[in-house]
Structure 1
């Protein structure tokens, strides 16, 4: 069976996935003041972070339209899968579903399924890879949906950021109590609930202690690590990401490790120095 895996641009593509015709990235749009930036392969992270640092205003993002998703569904592949960032954090999931409905209304039946990652960033990458693995194993479309939805249920997302201001100003922390760090340099360890909202898992004074706390939480909570992929994305802090990877590998054995720099949307919310881990 031929297939396409469509991932919104909050999900990072490895170099292999960028070259694989089975994978398509659908760009979100970013805005910093009057600058409109398309989150595709033209995205320049350094320039984007410079614009954000110089602006007094909060950067924003907008999701792909239903028509854009429908356009990507229109191809020769027999099975189509879309992976979006959490429906609790963005309208991308709803756009992908509306695009699916538009396709069925205008073009007829086709195997299309939209996965709500209930995560973001490198979590979407893992879901795309799991879908690819199922397709290559020869599973039926309905079986793949079941297996991947169960896989999503078992994923855990963790992150430590230098600042939560962008998330807060864009309303992504609406379910949390007000978090005051201020001069104390308190850094929260954050995660995603099973529903895909953001939650606080802990906190520590300073970024390094917060990363240590995140690492220890992952080690405590991970199950069957030998059969899981450790996925790490970072915003302009490769050495920090490598440290997190090395410390986790000292304490757990994983099937594989993926390490990526954040794409546009993830760079917007992670900010300079942010680390995201999904396993």
Structure 2
């Protein structure tokens, strides 16, 4: 069977995935003040981060249209879609609407849409798992079942360098943001099974916060020898390398990948942010 893996642009792809013809990206649009930025191969992270730091309002994202998904549903017989958490974006709903409309005219197609309940490298790992099973020539139904099971056991966590975006978006009061800034408090966050964001812990200083995140991996990971440890960084490869080394000292993962955040993930993580998934 021929297959295609469609991901929205919050999925932070490795270079190998970008070169692989099975992967196709649907772009979200970022809005910073009056400026609109398409989250595609032209995305300039440095410019985006500068615009965000200079803007008094929080950046926003707009999900792809159903038509954008429908265009990519053409071609291959088996179509798999991985989207940003439905709790954070309308991307999943757009993909679903597009599927319904497309199947009215093409009822023979197999199209499965995975709400990642995650973001960034959480989506990356789901996409890689789909490809792993496709290469084993498993059926569409079996791949769908196995990947949903994989997603249920996926963990995503992150550490933010600053709270400006959360403050500007109203998700954190100005007073808390000021106190956190003065005291150098760094939150350690995690994605829930429903795809929402909660605080795991906090620490004074980025290194201590990263240490808490590393220890949480050691405590809760199951069967690491069969899992990939994925790290996304926003403009800080040295910090990503530090997390990799600290985790792999303690846990024997099957593999580890490091990627730089694209547009949507850069918006969520902020300059210096680190996202992990396993």
- The bucket for the TM-score relative to the shorter chain is over 0.9
2:275 alignment counterpart: 276
Name the counterpart of 2:100. Answer: 101
Q: Is the CA contact (8 Å cut-off) linking 1:5 and 1:80 kept in structure 2?
A: yes
* Corresponding residue number in structure 2 for 1:29: 29
Which residue in 2 is equivalent to 1:189?
188
Aligned counterparts, 1:76-95, within 5 A:
77-95=76-94
Of 53-62 and 21-30, deviating more is: 53-62
Partner of 1:44: 44
- CA deviation map 1:53-95 (0-9, x unaligned): 22222111111011111111112x1100000011111111111
Partner SS, residue 181 of structure 1: helix
The aligned runs of 1:168-183 (5 Å cut-off) are: 169-170=168-169, 181-183=180-182
Residue 235 of structure 2 corresponds to which residue in structure 1? 236
The match for 2:9 is 9
Q: Judging changes above 3 Å, is the alpha-carbon distance between structure 1 residues 131 and 167 closer, same or farther for their aligned structure 2 residues?
A: farther
TM-score normalised to structure 2 length: 0.95
Q: Superposed, which structure 2 residues align to 1:199-210 within 5 Å?
A: 199-210=198-209
Structure 1 contact 127–148 (Cα < 8 Å) conserved: yes
Secondary structure of 1:254 counterpart: coil
Q: Is contact 1:233–1:260 with CA below 8 Å preserved after alignment?
A: yes
Contact 1:234/1:274, CA 8 A, preserved across alignment: yes
* 1:32 positional shift: 1.1
What SS is found at the alignment partner of 1:94? helix
**How much does 1:34 deviate?**
1.8
Q: 1:154-190 CA distances to partner (integer Å, 9 max, x unpaired)?
A: 10011000123324544678xxx99962422211110
Matches within 5 A, 1:237-256: 237-256=236-255
The CA deviation at 1:107 is 3.2
Matched, 1:74 2:74: yes
| Cα distance change, pair 142–180 in 1 and its aligned pair in 2 (3 A) | farther
Long gaps (5+) in structure 1:
none
| Structure-1 separation of matches of 2:198 and 2:178 | 11
Preserved CA contact (<8 Å) 2:5 2:24: yes
Question: What are the ranges of 5 or more consecutive residues in structure 2 without an aligned counterpart?
Answer: none
Distance in 1 between residues matched to 2:97 and 2:164, nearest whole Å: 31
User: Given that residues 162 and 181 in structure 2 are in contact (C-alpha distance below 8 angstroms), is that contact kept between their aligned partners in structure 1?
Assistant: no
Structure 1: distance between partners of 2:94 and 2:168: 23
Do the aligned partners of 1:87 and 1:196 also contact (CA within 8 Å) in 2?
yes
TM-score, length basis structure 1: 0.95
Asked whether the 8 Å contact 2:8–2:82 carries over to 1, the reply is yes
**Number of residue pairs matched?**
276
- Any idea what SS the aligned residue of 2:188 has? strand
Distance 1:64 1:131 in 2: 22
